[in-house]
Amino acid sequence: MTDTLTEHADATLHKGEPLIEMDNIGKSYGAIRALQGINLRVNAGEVACVLGDNGAGKSTLIKIMSGLHPHNEGSLKVDGQLVTFGSPREALAHGIATVYQDLAVVGLMEVWRNFFLGSEIVSSKMPLAAMKIRDMRRIADEELRKMGIVVKDINQPIGNLSGGQRQCVAIARAVYFGARVLILDEPTAALGVKQSGVVLKYTAAARDAGLGVVFITHNPHHAYLVGDHFMVLKRGAMNLDAKRSEITLEELTGQMAGGDELEALAHELKRDEEPKGTNRGAHASERTDGGTT
Amino acid sequence: MSQSVQSPPTEVQDTRSENRVTLGLTNRILARPEVGALVAAIVIFIFFIAVAPAFRSGASFFTVLYQASTIGIVAVGVGMLMIGGEFDLSAGVIVTTAGLVNSMFCWWFGINLWVGAALSLVFCLAIGFLNGYLVMRTGIPSFLITLGTFFVLQGANLGVTKLVTGSVSTPDISQMDGFTSLGKVFSSSFQVGGVTVWGTVIWWALFIAISAWVLQRTKIGNWIFAVGGNAASARAVGVPVIRTKIGLFMTVSFLGWFVGMHTLYRFNTLQSGNGVGNEFLYIIAAVVGGTLLTGGYGNAIGVAIGAFIFGMTSLCIVYAGWDPNWFKAFLGVMLLLAVMVNLWVKNLSTARKVG
Nearest CB neighbour to A2, from listed B2, B223, B235? B2
Q: Is residue B39 part of a domain?
A: no
ipTM score: 0.80
Q: Is residue B14 part of a domain?
A: no
User: What's this model's pTM, rounded to 2 decimal places?
Assistant: 0.81
Nearest CB neighbour to B219, from listed A89, A120, A160? A120
SS3 assignment, position B343: helix
- 10 Å CB burial of residue A83 (0-12, 13-18, 19+) is middle
Span B81-101, average pLDDT: 96
**Of chain A residues 182-201, which have a CB less than 8 A from chain B?**
201
Residue A174: which of B231, B234, B237, B220 has the closest Cα? Answer: B237
Q: Is residue B246 part of a domain?
A: yes
**pLDDT band of B17, cuts 50, 70, 90:** very low
Residue B99: which of B70, B79, B78, B66 has the closest Cα? Answer: B70
Angle between helices B241-267 and B58-83 (to 10 degrees): 150
Q: Give pLDDT, residue A70.
A: 87
Q: Give pLDDT, residue B11.
A: 39
Average pLDDT, chain B: 87
Are A148 and B8 a contacting pair at CB < 8 A? yes
Contact A44, A210 (CB under 8 A): yes
Per-residue model confidence as pLDDT tens digits over A90-125: 888 888 888 887 666 888 888 999 999 988 998 888
CA distances, A24 to each of A36, A74, A76 (Å) = 7, 5, 9
Max alpha carbon distance in chain A (Å)? 75
- Could you give the CA distance from residue A79 to residue A81 in angstroms, rounded to a whole number? 6
- Domain residue extents for chain A: 2-107+174-247, 258-293
Task: Give start and end residues of each alpha helix (H) in B218-326.
Answer: 219-236, 241-267, 278-288, 300-319
B226 at the A interface (CB within 8 A)? yes
Are B235 and A146 a contacting pair at CB < 8 A? no
**pLDDT band of B24, cuts 50, 70, 90:** low
Does residue A167 have a pLDDT over 60? yes
CATH code for the domain in which residue B156 is found: 1.10.3470
**Residue A118 backbone zone (phi > 0: left; psi -120 to 50: alpha; other: beta):** left
CA distances, A124 to each of A128, B79, B238, B239 (Å) = 9, 27, 19, 18
Average pLDDT, chain A: 80
Q: Is residue B12 part of a domain?
A: no
Residue B132: which of B257, B250, B223, B286 has the closest Cα? Answer: B250
- Could you give the CA distance from residue B9 to residue A147 in angstroms, rounded to a whole number? 7
- Could you give the CA distance from residue B263 to residue B258 in angstroms, rounded to a whole number? 9
Could you please state the CATH topology (level 3) that the domain comprising A2-107+174-247 is classified under.
Rossmann fold (3.40.50)
Contact B103, B165 (CB under 8 A): no
Q: Residue B63 is part of which domain span? A: 48-168+184-350
